[in-house]
Structure 1
Amino acid sequence: MAATNPHYDYLIVGSGLFGAVFAYEATRAGKKCLVIDKRNHLGGNVYCENIADINVHVYGPHIFHTNSKRIWDYVNQFTTFNRFTNSPLANYYGELFNLPINMNTFYQFWKITSPTEARQKISDQISKLPFKKAGNLQEQALLMVGPEIYEKLIRHYTEKQWGRDATRLPASIIKRLPVRYNYDNCYFDDTYQGVPVGGYNKLVAKLLAGIDFKTGVDFNTNRYELTALAKKVIYTGAIDAYFDHSHGHLEYRSLQFKTEVLDMENFQGNAVVNYCDPKSKFTRIVEHKHFEFGRQSKTVITREYPVMADKNVEPYYPINDDRNNAILKKYQTMAAQNHNVVFGGRLAEYKYYDMHQVIASALKVCNRELYTAFEVEV
């Protein structure tokens, strides 16, 4: 129900990139906005905290990457991005391998230097598999890279990340994994890549400059009072929480972060190192200073431990299996009947989005709501 005498045109629930972009565009279009966030800071998952003069990515590493010049130009109007490209390493019981899987990786496995030899090696391994079509993640990975690489670099990392056996995961998850027959260690193929100089807080601060906001406010526990403040709501929280989990809980994977300040200049020599063995309970170690090529005398590292999300753990990765997708459809039907609420972003759409996709999605909503932003493809 619309508010009777609202003070704002839009109440924006969540100050992550979706909410911040919409707030910026709506304000530019002459609308009055209030942004609220249940956390005690703005920026959602891209929030950075300065520790030991290093911008720490509090909720995991965020490397901006896109093939869209429009999206790249859009974010660069607010802050300067550096030239960082993600080139992670994989650690398997102390052995190091280049990621994404490429000719460097093949050399590390088999001392092969020719793309033809590498293709033949993998082809020979695949030919011995007892199946030709993938029915799950394990089978898809085996058909992509063969059993040797799968066992060391994919299987245990994936099972830790998702908390279930690889044979119980959909094949679609692993299709995002790049496999290259060249020596390119850059994880993403996108034309434009980087990290904001000085951290993501600068980007969010520019997007929300001059806009009313409140932090430490949980919309779902104060829904009626908060909704009465505005003509319309832009909701970026979990869609099942909005509807009081009336059709059941949607499942998410999450992460617990253990961050340390170390009295050394350089811990691992790289921003991201994946730990692919089953013994290591964490999936990766992030050394934050490398995102901005830092030379500080100390360093800050974060170990990431995958867990299931619950009421005390933030949801990050939707588990888009058949059960959850069936529940999602019920919530989407309910959402479509709420004409004064717009559901957008990873949690509200129960969809895995990269940052550029979140921004593109927000701008599409802006086109529909405001007719001031430009048309972009998600």
Structure 2
Amino acid sequence: MTADKEYDFLIVGSGLYGCVFAHEATRRGKRCLIIDKRKHTGGNIRCEEVEGINVHQYGAHIFHTNDKGIWDYVNSFVEFNRYTNSPVANYKGEFYNLPFNMNTFYQLWKVKTPAEAMEKIKSQVEASKVGVPTNLHEQALSLVGTDIYEKLIKGYTEKQWGRPAEQLPAFIIKRLPMRFTFDNNYFDDKYQGVPIGGYNKLTERLLEGIEVRLETDYFADREKWDAMTDQIVFTGNIDQFYDYQFGRLEYRSLRFEHQVYDTPNHQGNAVINYTEREIPYTRTIEHKHFEFGNQPKTVVTAEYPEEWTPEKEAYYPINDARNTKIFQQYNELARQEKYTLFGGRLATYKYYDMHQVIASALHAVAVKFQEKPVCQQN
């Protein structure tokens, strides 16, 4: 930090990336300031306590990783439980286990052996007569056949992206994992769980001793904030950072409706996907099941996909040809920056799982401080 600068690092955004970078830089004796335009820290992993239940305000967040270093890292701040994600799909009142596994195949076709399930899928794939897939509709049929696609993929995906499957690019579904065992564990990762007491405990521990200013928009007084430091860690929208000079990047957004029910157990599972197109939400989340709660009431959140506008929160990047080209132009500018580091899903226009965000932040710290990286980025 030069003598006339107040902070070593200005971190724009208090999501996981910003929290981890600020924590690690502070550990190394650097003075950090975090600013965030929201009213709270933690970005999309923020929880709010309702009826004694930690409600995931921005959708279900289940931590999972195969990287023991990352797992040990987050558990050094808060103990994680062993919640296992086992969502259920509801298609017109019929229930199916996810991910696609022998339980699902039995529910669909009453097949009892892997060989029977494989043969059923193979016959449906062949009957679909798809050559080289040109859209998501054809891609899915070529991978799993008619029944799985029609009941468990088509409607859900069309709601998620707001387009008919025939108008969506094939690359959105590169593969569809199928398990030929009776295993409802959604993730293959060795380590998974949810923080005991909610994700706020993780971010609050990361931010201990670090100055944070909320409801503060970096772009409302950019010159003021830039003058406070020589080094910026930017986790916001990269196109906004560069004044949209190459155009706006596009996203899908989400809307959440939270409801309290006067019953200890409303749906019997943390996550239920609604896969028919006619139901407007993609899933409902009963938060108490993440921490095995026994509170007398429960909170359920319905998750509605929406078209994104600049006034809404950006969730999922639309990585089609147009947006990829625009991002590459912004990314080229970012690579030339000497004093600004870009990180997180908005600044890199990439969907990240939580363990990937943390790994990328730790990697950036190692590079910045010329240390050996300690965690994989997988």
Alignment TM class, shorter chain as reference: over 0.9
Range 58-67 or range 169-178, more displaced:
169-178
Contact persistence 1:3–1:228 (CA under 8 A): no
2:316 corresponds to 1:327: no
**Runs of 4+ with >4 A deviation:** none
2:33 corresponds to 1:34: yes
In the alignment, residue 268 of structure 1 is paired with which amino acid? Answer: Q
- Show CA shifts across 1:81-106 (max 9, x none): 00001100101111111111110011
Distance 1:62 1:35 in 2: 23
What's the TM-score once normalised by structure 1's chain length? 0.97
2:183 corresponds to 1:184: yes
Contact persistence 1:178–1:187 (CA under 8 A): no
Distance 2:2 2:53 in 1: 44
Q: How far off its partner does 1:208 sit?
A: 0.6
Which residue of 1 is the match for residue 362 of structure 2?
Answer: 363
Per the alignment, in what secondary structure is the counterpart of residue 128 of structure 1? Answer: helix
- Show CA shifts across 1:234-271 (max 9, x none): 00001111112111110000100000111111110000
Distance 1:169 1:219 in 2: 35
Distance 1:105 1:357 in 2: 29
Q: How far off its partner does 1:150 sit?
A: 0.2
In the alignment, residue 112 of structure 1 is paired with which amino acid? Answer: V
- Show CA shifts across 1:54-101 (max 9, x none): 000001110000010111111111100000011001011111111111
Which residue of 2 is the match for residue 213 of structure 1?
Answer: 212
Which residue of 1 is the match for residue 67 of structure 2?
Answer: 68
Q: For 1:1-378, list aligned pairs within 5 A.
A: 5-175=4-174, 177-372=176-371, 374-378=373-377
Distance 1:242 1:309 in 2: 19
Distance 2:295 2:143 in 1: 41
Q: How far off its partner does 1:374 sit?
A: 3.3
Distance 1:352 1:3 in 2: 35
Q: How far off its partner does 1:143 sit?
A: 1.8
Q: How far off its partner does 1:135 sit?
A: 2.8
- Show CA shifts across 1:167-201 (max 9, x none): 23233332364211111101110000000000000
Contact persistence 1:363–1:373 (CA under 8 A): no
Distance 1:175 1:181 in 2: 19
Range 222-231 or range 146-155, more displaced:
222-231
Distance 2:81 2:147 in 1: 36
Contact persistence 1:3–1:227 (CA under 8 A): no
Per the alignment, in what secondary structure is the counterpart of residue 222 of structure 1? Answer: helix
Name structure 1 gaps, 5 residues minimum. Answer: none
- CA, structure 1 residues 33+373, in 2 after alignment: closer, same or farther (shift >3 Å)? farther
Range 216-225 or range 17-26, more displaced:
216-225
Name structure 2 gaps, 5 residues minimum. Answer: none
Distance 2:313 2:5 in 1: 31
Contact persistence 2:47–2:55 (CA under 8 A): yes
Distance 2:64 2:169 in 1: 25
Q: How far off its partner does 1:373 sit?
A: 6.7
Distance 2:240 2:2 in 1: 21
What's the TM-score once normalised by structure 2's chain length? 0.97
Q: Percent identity?
A: 56
Distance 1:56 1:373 in 2: 37
- Show CA shifts across 1:267-314 (max 9, x none): 100000000111100110000000000000000000011012222210
Q: How far off its partner does 1:372 sit?
A: 4.8
Distance 1:347 1:50 in 2: 27
Distance 1:65 1:329 in 2: 29
Q: How far off its partner does 1:230 sit?
A: 1.2
Range 368-377 or range 188-197, more displaced:
368-377
RMSD after superposition? 1.4
In the alignment, residue 34 of structure 1 is paired with which amino acid? Answer: L
Distance 1:202 1:43 in 2: 10
